[in-house]
Amino acid sequence: MKAAREKKGLAAVVSGTARLQESGYLKRSAAGAGIPRQVVVQAFALSLKNPLPREPVAVGNEFYVFQLKARREGAEEINKAQRQQLKAQLLASAQSRLLRDWLVYMQSKSKIWTNEQILQ
């Protein structure tokens, strides 16, 4: 990894039994199409300033070392109805998370006791 950073790319340091493959552009949903999910997740965490991961990604008995070469935005435009639907889903998710966190907080601060008279 250090040599790849110093030489500004993986192609300059690949040797031995390692294979160099170029995938083309990835989508976040590319996992399962020959590219392990762990690799896709870490690839989307990279930037053009830091195009190499810190450590190789281990998937089973294989190790993946990859480099971000370019980044492009998705070409999909969403219409107003889709935008409203996504906004509503995000709002519902945030409300649910807030309620869940509030309930956890209230449970941690509550004092629970058993009324023995009711049990008799």
With H, G, I as helix, E, B as strand and everything else as coil, classify residue 63: strand
pLDDT value, residue 92: 97
Does some domain include residue 117?
no
Number of domains in the chain: 2
pLDDT digit string, tens, across residues 68-117:
888 877 667 788 898 899 999 999 999 999 999 999 999 999 988 888 89
Does some domain include residue 116?
no
pLDDT value, residue 93: 97
pLDDT digit string, tens, across residues 33-79:
678 888 888 888 888 888 888 888 888 888 888 888 888 776 677 88
Does some domain include residue 119?
no
Q: Which range marks the domain in which residue 6 is found?
A: 1-69
pLDDT value, residue 32: 56
pLDDT value, residue 88: 96
Same domain, 50 and 86: no
Q: Is the pLDDT of residue 16 over 60?
A: yes
With H, G, I as helix, E, B as strand and everything else as coil, classify residue 58: strand
Those residues with Cβ within 8 angstroms of residue 115's Cβ, 6 or more apart along the chain or in another chain: none
